[in-house]
Amino acid sequence: MPVTYSFADVVCSITGPGGTFSLSESNVADEGITIEMTEDKSTMTTGATRGGMHSLHESRAGRVTIRLLKNSPTNRLLSDLYRYQTQSSAYFGQNTISLSNPIWQDDHVCAQCAFVRMPTNANAKDGGMMEWQFNALDIDSLLGDGITVL
């Protein structure tokens, strides 16, 4: 079992109307890439007595946040993709973002992704980062066990 994690092992890409390219190879910020679920998987309801009930929710919706340094050329690629996809609903919400770490055997496929908005663009003393956010209607994640077969 590996005892070392490295973002260098992470492979992430986006595919959608207007383009396909890597999201993990060009000046990703220290804060990296985050995949999070939007809703809880369950709700607990309790009664007036000691009883209760769990409700299982089917939603697999979530949000993907990609943090790039201000000087990353991928910002331009995402900006072009944003402009293309927001010109018509025929192109919007069709991105697939895939992230894997083959060393740890983590795999995430985020389907039916749509841009949330253009990122905040701060022009300051330090270049900072650009946070690109996507809403995903379907996130399928599987965390590996870190046992790499080489």
Total domains in the chain come to: 1
> Within a domain: residue 28?
yes
Note the pLDDT of residue 36.
97
* Range 10-26 average pLDDT: 95
**pTM for this one?**
0.91
pLDDT at 3 > cutoff 70: no
Mean per-residue pLDDT for 5-30? 93
Position 148 scores a pLDDT of 65
With respect to residue 45, please indicate whether it lies within any of the assigned structural domains.
no
**Domain boundaries, position 114:** 8-39+58-142
CATH number of 32's domain: 2.30.110
Q: Which residues contact 126 (CB under 8 A, 6 or more apart)?
A: none
**Predicted pLDDT at 94:** 98
User: Does residue 149 form part of some domain?
Assistant: no
Give the Cα separation of 85 and 115 in Å (integer). 9
The stretch 48-74 carries a mean pLDDT of 95
> Tokens 């809403």 map to which residue?
135
49: in domain = no
Give the per-residue pLDDT at 1. 56
CA distances from 42 to 35, 39, 88, 126 (A): 19, 8, 35, 42
Please tell me the distance from the alpha carbon of residue 29 to that of residue 140, in angstroms, as a whole number. 24
Q: How confident is the model at residue 15 (pLDDT cuts 50, 70, 90)?
A: very high
User: What count of other Cβ atoms lies within 10 Å of the Cβ of residue 6?
Assistant: 10
- How far is it, in rounded angstroms, from Cα 126 to Cα 36? 28
Q: Which amino acid is at 7?
A: F
Q: Are 74 and 27 in contact (CB under 8 A)?
A: yes
Chain-wide mean pLDDT for the chain? 93
Q: Is residue 29 part of a domain?
A: yes
48 within some domain: no
pLDDT over 70 (residue 40): yes
119 part of a folded domain: yes
Asked if residue 51 is part of any domain, the answer here is no
